Copies of this chain bind each other. A is one copy, B any other.
Amino acid sequence: MTKEQENNQKNKCKYKIAQIASLTGAELKGQADILVDNACGVQESNQSSVTFVDQKDYLKQALNSKAPVIVSSYQIYSELDSKLNSQKTFLLTDNPRRVYALAAAALTARPYQSQKISKKAVIDQSAKLGKNLSIHPGVVIAENTKIGDNTILAPGVIIGPEVEIGANCLLHPGVIIERDSIIKKRVIIQSGAVIGSDGFGYATDSDGHHKIPQQGNVIIESGVEIGANVTIDRGASGPTIIKRGSKLDNLIQIAHNVEVGEESLLISQTGIAGSTKLGKRVTLGGQAGVVGHIELADQTTAAARAMVTASTKKGDFISGAPAQNHRQALKEQAYLRRLPKYIEKIKKLEQKLKELESK
């Protein structure tokens, strides 16, 4: 990056706090013209930081920090001793985490944004490239591909044939997008993730397992984030779909023809078997597993390590292996813990009964 570009970039991430208030929809209390260039925790803050308090206990620390601006809730602000806060400017909101996230996003440079196409990338001449791309060394882009404006391909990213990638995406190092995949806008994919591997489909007879060609693809909708070393299989026929705004943590397995609904959250090491459909805002805890060919309704939550073997109804909260209603699962667990005591009781009952009978 030239000094000029460096300055440009720095300038882009420097805002008057009034601009941040307007961007995030928060109410400004204090000086509107403070310049900020970073958002961080109280302890790491400096004289141009926006910091964040969503519990009253941490307020004092924030007031004593170097940060000139504090994102907080109306609630916490209202309880504030008026003598203390004279030095600080506040961004007030009912959802401080949201405002902080939006402020931090505005104040954080996108990684790998070189705005250059490296000569050490290998790009097929049939590829249709958008504007303002950052394409790093070691990237390979195959034939008949499209890459949207402002998209960043970090070092070692591999884009297979017939792939389409939308605008403003960020693919971290070593991401692999297999043939025919469609990645929409503002998608972030962490390092080592594989999108579009063949699904696990075989026809078995006495000669062995005969591979059924996996002819579908993968569609990743806008605003999705995919974690490191995740694997998402292409459909056997038709697509595997990750819908708008869903977030997948690391090392997750998504089998062929799965559909993950809008704004779902899948925690790391989760696995979903073939053709299962998740509704909107489904949450799967870490290391959960979901069998194939079922439907998890909107707002289903499965706890960590749940083994989900049946379809759910809207808003169900399930846990255990096999998963059941969470309250029921906790009850069962509690009974199990009391089992030794009750087995003792049975033995005593037998003894007493024997005594009674012999009378």
State the A residues within 8 Å of B (CB): 1, 38-41, 43-44, 95, 97-98, 100-102, 104-105, 107-108, 111-112, 118, 120, 122, 136-138, 140, 142-143, 154-156, 158, 160-161, 172-174, 176, 178-179, 188, 190-192, 194, 197-198, 200, 202-205, 208-213, 215, 223, 225, 227-229, 231, 233, 236-238, 245, 247, 249-251, 253, 255, 263, 265, 267-269, 271, 273, 286-287, 289, 291, 304-305, 307, 321-322, 331-333, 335-340, 342-343, 345-346, 349-350, 352-353, 356-357
Contacts and interface: CB of A to CB of B under 8 A. Distances in A.
Nearest to A200: B249
Nearest to A251: B253
Given A231-B227, A304-B307, A350 B353 contact: no
A273 B335 CA distance: 28
A211 B174 CA distance: 22
Contact of A345 (B210, B339, B350): B350
Contact of A176 (B112, B192, B286): B192
A192 B101 contact: no
A238 B44 CA distance: 8
Q: In the assembly, how many copies of this chain are there?
A: 3
Contacts of A305: 289, 307, 321
A117 to B, nearest CB: 14
Contacts of A95: 203, 205
9 contacts: A40-B237, A41-B238, A173-B176, A190-B198, A190-B231, A192-B229, A208-B263, A209-B247, A233-B250
Given A41-B236, A194-B250, A209-B245, 20 more contacts: A44-B237, A97-B203, A98-B204, A104-B212, A104-B215, A108-B215, A111-B161, A122-B155, A136-B140, A140-B173, A172-B197, A178-B191, A188-B211, A192-B229, A194-B228, A200-B227, A271-B286, A335-B340, A338-B343, A349-B350
Nearest to A244: B208
B268 A269 contact: no
A192 B190 contact: no
Given A140-B155, A286-B289, A343-B342, A178 B173 contact: yes
Contact of A339 (B212, B233, B335, B352): B335
Contacts of A172: 176, 178, 197
Contacts of A350: 345, 349
Contact of A269 (B203, B269, B337): B269
A286 B268 contact: no
Contact of A105 (B156, B213, B267, B291): B213
Contacts of A143: 1
A97 B203 CA distance: 5
B197 A227 contact: yes
A342 B338 CA distance: 12
A122 to B, nearest CB: 4
Given A122-B120, A350-B349, A210 B102 contact: yes
Contact of A194 (B136, B176, B192): B192
A263 B289 CA distance: 25
A105 B339 CA distance: 52
A72 B343 CA distance: 50
A155 B158 contact: yes
A101 B212 CA distance: 5
